[in-house]
Amino acid sequence: MRIDIITVLPELLEGPFSHSILQRAADKGLAEIHVHHLREYGIGKHQQVDDYQYGGGAGMVMQCEPLVACIEKLQSQRTYDGVLFMTPDGKQYKQGDANALSLLGNLIIICGHYKGIDQRVRDHWVTHEYSIGDFVLSGGELAAAVIADSIIRLLPGVLNNETSALTDSFQDNLLAPPVYSRPEDFRGHKVPEILLSGNLKAIELWREEQAYQRTKSRRPDLLEDF
Ligand code: ADE
């Protein structure tokens, strides 16, 4: 899979993609991430990428020309299965979206800034619009990094133990159960007895029950789809 990210702040994306799982996925040749500086497609000698909005109102709007020039250049080089736009008014991004996107081929992600991007790009070039939560970030870069991470870790071979993605929170509409490691007793706080029992069947049942109880108390909305 290849993910191309279009941004006015490429520096913001250097950190997330040069470490940990994402770097490992790139090193193994399982995922490629390319960051494109929108300014290189900007208009005129100032390489302008944004302008005032028609009709008046505060805030600049990212213009069509630079965005479409960048998208179409990429699309002339290979086939893309989606052009994603990160925006607080997009569909709420869920684990199910990560699962579905991880089955696709190449993706373009547009990071918005200022007041947003010209609606015509959204109407005619963007295929998916996602929000990562009901709050406003100063740009779409962090949201793009979140989405790219959630997709890439699902690609076969990226995680050491492939089953670990299957037991993530949300994969079955339940939050994950609590986990413990050594020591057995930390300042008098003990690991639940059942986890030390060696009884795999009983442990499995305990984890299922814990996942259910945790979901019921913290995220009862998830149980509506359970
Ligand atoms: N850009 C700004 N805020 C955002 C959000 N909550 N989700 C996705 N993209 C954004």
- Any residues with Cβ below 6 Å from ligand 1, and which? 86-88, 112, 131-133, 135-137, 140, 143
Strands (E) in 102-158, as ranges, are 107-111, 128-131
Q: What is the mean pLDDT of the chain?
A: 94
pLDDT tens-digit profile of 97-113? 999 999 999 999 999 98
Measured CA distances, 183 to 62, 189, 197 (Å): 54, 10, 15
> Given ligand 1 and candidates 7, 9, 87, 92, which is best to mutate, with the most ligand atoms within 8 Å of its CB?
87
Q: Which residue has the higher pLDDT, 27 or 160?
A: 27
Q: Which tokens in the block code for residue 82?
A: 């989606």
pLDDT tens-digit profile of 136-152? 999 999 999 999 999 99
Grade residue 163 by pLDDT with cuts at 50, 70 and 90: low
Cα of 140 vs centre of ligand 1, distance in Å, is: 5
pLDDT at 36 (0 to 100):
98
Assign a CATH topology to domain 167-225: Trp Operon Repressor; Chain A (1.10.1270)
Grade residue 114 by pLDDT with cuts at 50, 70 and 90: confident
> Given ligand 1 and candidates 84, 91, 113, 132, which is best to mutate, with the most ligand atoms within 8 Å of its CB?
132
pLDDT tens-digit profile of 30-71? 999 999 999 999 999 999 999 999 999 999 999 999 999 999
User: How far, in Å, CA of 123 to CA of 108, rounded?
Assistant: 16
Residue with CA at minimum distance from ligand 1 atom 4: 88
Residue with CA at minimum distance from ligand 1 atom 6: 88
Cα of 88 vs centre of ligand 1, distance in Å, is: 4
- CATH architecture group of domain 2-152: 3-Layer(aba) Sandwich (3.40)
**What is the phi/psi pair of residue 180, to 5°?**
-135, 150
Q: Vertex 93, ends 121 and 78: CA angle to 5°?
A: 50
CATH 1.10.1270.20 residue window(s) in the chain: 167-225
Cα of 52 vs centre of ligand 1, distance in Å, is: 21
pLDDT at 215 (0 to 100):
96
pTM of the model as a whole: 0.92
> Given ligand 1 and candidates 89, 91, 114, 136, which is best to mutate, with the most ligand atoms within 8 Å of its CB?
136
Of 52, 60, 10, 23, nearest to 153 by C-alpha is 23
Question: What's the average model confidence in pLDDT over 160-187?
Answer: 86
pLDDT at 134 (0 to 100):
97
Residue with CA at minimum distance from ligand 1 atom 10: 87
CATH 3.40.1280.10 residue window(s) in the chain: 2-152
Give the lowest-confidence range in 117-121, 162-166, 190-194: 162-166
Report percent pLDDT > 90 for the chain. 84
